[in-house]
Structures are given as structure tokens and as C-alpha cells.
Amino acid sequence: MRVAAFNVENLFDRIKAFNDDAPDTHKAVLEAHAELNTLFEKPVYSAADKARMLELMDVLGILKRDEGAFVWLRKIRGKIVTRPRRGPVRIAADGRDDWVGWLELKTARVEEEAITMTARMIRDMQADILALVEIESRPVLTEFHDFIYAPLAGHSYRQMMVIDGNDRRGIDVGIMAKDGFSIPSMRSHVDEEENGRTVFSRDCPEYILQTPGGERIAVLPNHFKSKYGGNNQSSKDKRAAQARFAAQYYERLLDEGIEHVIVLGDLNDTPDSDELQPLLGTTLREITDHPNFTEFEFDASTGDRGIGTFGTGADSKKIDYILLSPALWARVIRGGIYRKGVFTASHRWEMYPELTKPLYAASDHHGIWVDLDLD
């Protein structure tokens, strides 16, 4: 049985800034978006806050109007900004209670070639159970499956499930499983809180699957807090909380007698980070550490094993995981990383022939998989 995880970075609609050919644009837009929304939430706006808001609005192209190339300034009630015909633009609100609104990232249609590339990646990974990250919704997933994936692959996934998460952009985590599998139970943690704040950026759902052979396996797809928008202490604390809570769910599942547990997906941090240790410090073990994992050595002189799952695929880009409980670790046959639908200008790995430019890539994330001796 093969289990895989893949961050598709949206199936049909993607953050518009990501369609720009310049990677610096992605980072600048997301960081400015995150910082400005954080400033908007402050109960009182200082003079320095207001000055910084204006700087960020200028960067995003919304200083003189509500719509920029990559963002919308949404205003529901009250006034955040005054734009006189003569004189400088100024921040009109003195704090969060003076207005209702937010900054929203624009989305744009994913290139048709990229949608097809995503389907090819999923087809060629041949997973029996596939955790998907950054999918818009279950209806979108079923449309992608029925009209793009199934005709291309020549087969269908029987089970497809997505639970709405907390991300305003509508990027959720979900699961697909082939014929013969069932999902007798599922549990959401979308409303989990710590110190009055929602823990999960999306959700950490628990799917209990029954295999064709009658085995029970718990699959917990995840998408932890991103470093985009600035990896400040608040971002680190949120990722650490997500790791702690996911670890608690894992321990509870073991206590409930479920030996086969997988926590997988995009954890948005490297294995040596302090934030992930509450989860990585449990008895869960990561597939790239297994002796049966197929390493991909990019550069023998640097000792780079090529276990990274994002961008260049270098070890320092290891942010996607398949974490296995001891009972599953003992049943690992092999594991690997699938890269063919990810663009590489340096041709560090084999790409699909049609992948001639970055916009056609399935994702910046690589697929990660494991084969288990489990019926």
C-alpha cells in the first residue's frame, strides 16, 4: 500500500502573486500583506503604525485606491484611509474598533498546463492514500478529479474528503483513497484554541481509514503556519502550538488502540527547528530517516542527500513529511520523493518534457511517498 503527501498549491485558483515570474514578488507581496493585516488588528494605532501602514499600502499599490495588482482592501464599515484630492493620504482610523475590514490577496486562474501537470504528478505517484495540501474545497477537488484527473489517469479515487479550515484564502487539507478503502470516521480540530487563539491555520483532521484487508489506519493531514509574511515570534509560536496539539492527537490515538498512525503534509519548517520538536520528539519517525528510503544525492562533495521537498530539493528545503508510528515504521518497504512535475532551471532532476517554464509546474513542492506492507 502506498501513502503519499503533496502540496498542490491550489488546483484551479492560486494567489495571483504566485503567477508572477519573479520569486521576489511572491515574497514581497505576502510579507507586506501579512504585516499590514497584523497592524490592522492592533487596538490602537500609533503614529508609527500609521506611517508604516501607508508605506505598506504604497508597496502593494493601494495607497490611492482599494484595488492593487495583487490585493484588495476590503472595507465593510467605518473608514481606514482618507484619500483627499489635494494633500497626502492619511490613516483615518485610530484603532481596530473604528472600522471593519481586512486586506485580501487576489487569486487568478492556474495555468491549464499546470493543472494538467498536477494531475500527472498525482497519477504517477500511484498512491492508494493521498493527502493533499492547499486545495480549495471538496467540490473543487471532485471537479478536478472527475474532469481532469480521471480522464488522464484512466482510473478514479473512490474516497475524497475535505473539511473546511480556518484559512480565509480557502486553502485546506484533504484526502483521497482508492477503491476498497473506506473512511468510517473523521474528526476535525478546526475550532481548537489555545490562549483564546485558533491553533490551526487550516485544520488537523483525523481520518480513520479501513484498508481493503480490514486494517485500521489513522491519517492526519497537516499544513502548519507558513514562514511567508515573516517568520516572527508569533509565527514560530503558532507552528509550535500546532506541533504540540498534533502530538497530543497522536498519543491519544495510540491510547485508543490505533497502532497505525500517519501524520503527514507540509509542516513548513525543517527537522532541526525547535518549533517542530513537540511532534518530532514523539515515537513518530520520518520516512526520509528510514534505511529503505531512496536517497537522491545531488552533490557528493557537499553531502547533500536531496531529501528536501521544496524548491531546489536540497536538504535545507525539507518541509514536507510522512511521520509514521512504530507499527508502521516496521512495515516500510521503501519510500521516496517524486519531483518530475516541479520546475528546475538547473535540471537537477528529470522533468516532464512539457514542463518548459515555471508557470507550468504542478507546484513548488515535491511529492513524498512511502510503500507499506499493509493490505
> If we measure between CA atoms, which residue out of 168, 233, 247 comes closest to residue 204?
247
> Tens digit of pLDDT for each residue in 80-113?
999 998 889 999 999 999 999 999 888 877 788 9
Instruction: Report pLDDT for 299.
Output: 66
Residue found under cell 501602514: 53
> If we measure between CA atoms, which residue out of 185, 192, 126, 131 comes closest to residue 162?
131
Using alpha carbons only, give the angle 88, 91, 93 rounded to the nearest 5 degrees. Answer: 150
Which residues neighbour 186 within 8 Å (Cβ) at sequence distance 6 or greater?
161, 163, 205, 206, 207, 208
Instruction: Report pLDDT for 215.
Output: 94
pLDDT class of 47 with cuts at 50, 70, 90: very high
Query: Does the pLDDT at position 19 exceed 70?
Result: no
Instruction: Work out the average pLDDT over 185-209.
Output: 95
Give the integer Cα–Cα distance in Å for 344 and 277.
Answer: 31
Residue found under cell 508569533: 234
> Is 336 strand, coil or helix?
strand
- Dmax over CA atoms of the chain, in Å, equals 74
Which residues neighbour 255 within 8 Å (Cβ) at sequence distance 6 or greater?
none
Using alpha carbons only, give the angle 119, 124, 160 rounded to the nearest 5 degrees. Answer: 55
Which residues neighbour 50 within 8 Å (Cβ) at sequence distance 6 or greater?
90, 91
Instruction: Report pLDDT for 171.
Output: 86
Instruction: Report pLDDT for 23.
Output: 60
Residue-by-residue DSSP string for 354-375:
T--SGGG-S-SBPEEEEEES--
Mean pLDDT, the chain, whole residue set:
92
pLDDT class of 169 with cuts at 50, 70, 90: confident
Instruction: Report pLDDT for 346.
Output: 86
> Tens digit of pLDDT for each residue in 117-155?
999 999 999 999 999 999 988 999 999 999 999 999 998
Domain 2-15+110-372 CATH (choose: 3.60.10.10, 3.30.70.1070, 3.40.50.150, 3.40.50.620): 3.60.10.10
> Is 81 strand, coil or helix?
strand
The domain spans of the chain are: 2-15+110-372, 18-108
Query: Does the pLDDT at position 318 exceed 70?
Result: yes
Q: What is the pTM of this model?
A: 0.83
pLDDT class of 273 with cuts at 50, 70, 90: very high
> Tens digit of pLDDT for each residue in 224-247?
998 876 688 888 999 999 999 999
Query: Does the pLDDT at position 22 exceed 80?
Result: no
Residue-by-residue DSSP string for 264-304:
EEE--S-TT-TTTHHHHTSS-EEGGGSTTB----SBTTTTB
Instruction: Work out the average pLDDT over 46-69.
Output: 94
Query: Does the pLDDT at position 196 exceed 80?
Result: yes
Residue found under cell 484533504: 174
